[in-house]
Amino acid sequence: MTRGRERAAWVGYLRVSTPGQAERELSLPAQCAAIAEFAARRAVTIAREYADVGVSGTDPRRREYRRMLEDVYAPGSDIKTIVVHHTSRFTRDATEARVVKSKLAKIGVNVVSVCQDLHDDPMGKLMEGFFECIDEYESAINGVRTASAMREAVRQGYFPGSTPPYGYRSEPIAIRSGVVRHRLVPDDVEAEIVREIYRLYIAENGAKTVARRLNHRGFRVRSGRLWSGAAILRVLDDTTAAGTYYWGRCATRSKQARPRSEWTCLQVEPIVDPSVLALAMTLRERRCPRRNPGRPPAPVHVPSGLLRCGQCGASYQLETSGKRVDGDVYRYTYYNCRSACRVGSELCPGFRVRTGDLHAAVFHHLADIVCTDERAADLRARVRAAHAVSVERVGEIWRSLLLHDPLVKRTYARHLIDRIDVSPTRTLIEARRA
Ligand SMILES: [Zn+2]
């Protein structure tokens, strides 16, 4: 076993949950100074510092925290001691604290706190466990307090969130000196787009078509990306446009949906008429695939998901056009790039291939691989060995030959092999024999 460098270095870990954290002794410079002084008293220097700003101690994905642990576990790492200002800086999750610290202890790394200078003995361990539980409890209590303060703000007509719903912006209002609240007010540009979405959707367009129209006219979502059918449906599902915003629809940390009785409603200036919203909802319900399946299930199209677009890398999917024949099958079926089908030519121009052409191409490619002379001879021998062989039996033998070929198994799904028609296979064998 190769031993890494001797662990001797001390590093500091700092964290503030909000950029302007209220408690002054917990500001980054204060934490930094306390750690430096703690190290100086022990005649050691802090080799480097890791600082997370604006992240919760309950979030295990903190960037600098993860980077520090990666550095600790890196082969040849020299990190011996991690210094924090307070146990709550390391994590506010007591279980994680126990698990991470015991893993670190196994490789000879310890975590020490400036405020809680604990000894490495049973009493020290007990005290550390207490502190970790208190850190978690404080965090949970803070969460409850913040949530109720936010709910109260909503009751008073203020918007406590960070991202306003589409069509609105969050406008700061100084309610008294030093206290700023926010109100939801319609955003001129976005509100006009929301109205246009409703107009287009009610004029018998599907969400995908609405998205394509907006993209074509140069409109983009907030992130600058193209509109998609799903983004349009999110706008249509949001009741804020008609004047009612619901706060607390899902839990902040777990993202789990909350029951409707726990939502708090905030009245805002509507940007569409409630009757327009109701009409759009009725249409949405009518077009809902659960209620109205619309089209019959498409037949299995084998290459879907196996093919990729050469222009954008998205998968190829089935695209249909033309009227349904006898109400159940689309007359024209194609494969096309998923980006082109779902978003439109602004994202990818796509390339349509008729399903029949593609299936033939795949079949011919497959036949070139599997219809070797060796196999044809094998098949011929087996057919000769049997007395009376039906066409179906030839197909069965063929399939069993193909299924045992590692290349075929790797390249093509088994159900494609099952679909191979016996007659063209026979024709091919005849052709090879000749
Ligand atoms: Zn594409």
Q: Which residue has the higher pLDDT, 186 or 204?
A: 186
Of the pLDDT bands very low, low, confident and very high (cuts 50, 70, 90), residue 408 is low
> Measured in angstroms, how far is the CA atom of residue 316 from the centroid of ligand 1?
8
Query: What's the pLDDT at 434?
Result: 46
Are 47 and 10 contacting, i.e. CB atoms less than 8 angstroms apart? yes
> Measured in angstroms, how far is the CA atom of residue 425 from the centroid of ligand 1?
33
Are 314 and 336 contacting, i.e. CB atoms less than 8 angstroms apart? no
Query: What's the pLDDT at 22?
Result: 46
> Measured in angstroms, how far is the CA atom of residue 237 from the centroid of ligand 1?
29
332 pairs with which residues across the strands?
A: 321
Are 339 and 347 contacting, i.e. CB atoms less than 8 angstroms apart? yes
Say whether pLDDT at 419 is over 70: no
Residue pointed to by tokens 């060796």: 374
**CA gyration radius for the chain?**
33
Show Cβ contacts of residue 384 under 8 Å, excluding neighbours closer than 6 positions: none
> Measured in angstroms, how far is the CA atom of residue 16 from the centroid of ligand 1?
44
Architecture (CATH level 2) of domain 186-287: Alpha-Beta Complex (3.90)
Q: What is the dihedral of CA 339, 345, 348, 350, to 10 degrees?
A: 80
Show Cβ contacts of residue 275 under 8 Å, excluding neighbours closer than 6 positions: none
**Whole-number Å distance between alpha carbons of 310 and 44:** 58
> Measured in angstroms, how far is the CA atom of residue 273 from the centroid of ligand 1?
38
With H, G, I as helix, E, B as strand and everything else as coil, classify residue 35. helix
Query: What's the pLDDT at 1?
Result: 39
CATH number for the 9-139 domain, one of 2.60.40.1220, 3.40.50.1390, 3.40.50.150, 3.50.50.60? Answer: 3.40.50.1390
Of the candidates 350, 344, 338, 342, the residue with the CA atom closest to the CA atom of residue 311: 350
Q: What is the per-residue pLDDT across 119-147, written as a single tens digit (0 to 9) for each?
A: 888 999 999 999 999 999 998 898 888 88
Interval 195-202 mean pLDDT: 92
Interval 190-203 mean pLDDT: 92
Residue 300: both structure tokens together: 């299995």
> Measured in angstroms, how far is the CA atom of residue 290 from the centroid of ligand 1?
29
Length of the chain: 434
**Whole-number Å distance between alpha carbons of 209 and 200:** 9
> Measured in angstroms, how far is the CA atom of residue 368 from the centroid of ligand 1?
28
Query: What's the pLDDT at 290?
Result: 63
What does the domain layout of the chain look like in residue ranges?
A: 9-139, 186-287, 297-356, 371-433
Cβ atoms within 10 Å, residue 206: 15
> Measured in angstroms, how far is the CA atom of residue 190 from the centroid of ligand 1?
29
> Measured in angstroms, how far is the CA atom of residue 390 from the centroid of ligand 1?
45
Are 367 and 425 contacting, i.e. CB atoms less than 8 angstroms apart? yes
Most confidently predicted of 120-129, 391-400, 411-420 = 120-129
Interval 28-46 mean pLDDT: 92
**β-strand pairing of 9-16 with 79-84:** parallel
> Measured in angstroms, how far is the CA atom of residue 318 from the centroid of ligand 1?
13
Interval 411-420 mean pLDDT: 50
Show Cβ contacts of residue 158 under 8 Å, excluding neighbours closer than 6 positions: 173, 181, 182, 183, 266
Say whether pLDDT at 71 is over 60: yes
Q: Which residue has the higher pLDDT, 162 or 29?
A: 29
**Whole-number Å distance between alpha carbons of 132 and 92:** 7
> Measured in angstroms, how far is the CA atom of residue 416 from the centroid of ligand 1?
25
Q: Which residue has the higher pLDDT, 211 or 412?
A: 211
With H, G, I as helix, E, B as strand and everything else as coil, classify residue 170. strand
Q: Which residue has the higher pLDDT, 324 or 85?
A: 85
> Measured in angstroms, how far is the CA atom of residue 181 from the centroid of ligand 1?
45
> Measured in angstroms, how far is the CA atom of residue 341 from the centroid of ligand 1?
9
Cα dist from 383 to 169, 314, 426, whole Å: 76, 44, 12
> Measured in angstroms, how far is the CA atom of residue 212 from the centroid of ligand 1?
15
Q: Per DSSP, which regions of 279-389 are E strands?
A: 316-325, 329-337, 353-354
315 pairs with which residues across the strands?
A: 308
Q: How far apart are the first and last CA of the chain?
A: 65
